[in-house]
Amino acid sequence: MSQAIDRIRENLTEVVSVSVTGIWLGALFTGQDWWLPFMLIGYIIIVPMTALVFGDREEIAEWWEDEDVTIPEDTNETDPVETLKNRYAAGEISDAEFERKLERLLEIEESESTTAEYDDIDRELDRL
């Protein structure tokens, strides 16, 4: 029972989204007049609020896809890969989520190191 609750908590945004879809489709096919307002409220307010309150930082960033939104980092862990490993070890994320997030973190680190190398090259060229 505990594992089911943990899985629901981890995937709450998806659970709410599917629930909203099921409710408005049920209302549509049974001839209810309130299906459209419910659909709009569900997808404009309920699902995004669920993602903001219960989603992880990556889900929040993906949901809003806005470069102006800043997402605070955990202050108790400085290394994102170590944080990810700890969450995986604690059973907070699944194998697939761990692999996907680890791959993304490694891509970001590689991109940052490449940018640093380009900055070093630019500084060397400026000296010449």
Query: Is the model's pTM score more than 0.95?
Result: no
Q: Which of 45, 66, 87 is the last residue of a domain?
A: 66
Digitized pLDDT (tens) for each residue of the chain, 128 residues in all: 677 777 777 788 888 999 999 999 999 999 999 999 999 999 999 988 887 787 766 656 665 555 555 555 555 546 777 887 888 888 888 888 888 888 887 877 777 666 666 566 666 656 65
Per-residue pLDDT, 13: 82
CA distances from residue 36 to 14, 16, 48, 49, 92 in whole angstroms, order as listed: 20, 17, 17, 19, 36
47, 16 contact by CB (below 8 A): yes
Task: Residue 31: give the domain boundaries.
Answer: 1-66
Per-residue pLDDT, 77: 47
State whether 12 and 62 are in the same domain: yes
Q: Which of 30, 46, 66 is the last residue of a domain?
A: 66
State whether 60 and 4 are in the same domain: yes
H or E element in which residue 39 lies? helix 35-41
Q: Into how many domains does the chain fold?
A: 2
State whether 78 and 62 are in the same domain: no
The three-state secondary structure class of 72 is coil
H or E element in which residue 45 lies? none
Burial class (CB in 10 A: 0-12, 13-18, 19+), 47: buried
State whether 10 and 59 are in the same domain: yes
Per-residue pLDDT, 35: 93
State whether 62 and 102 are in the same domain: no
State whether 54 and 94 are in the same domain: no
Per-residue pLDDT, 95: 83
Burial class (CB in 10 A: 0-12, 13-18, 19+), 83: middle
101, 81 contact by CB (below 8 A): no
State whether 60 and 3 are in the same domain: yes
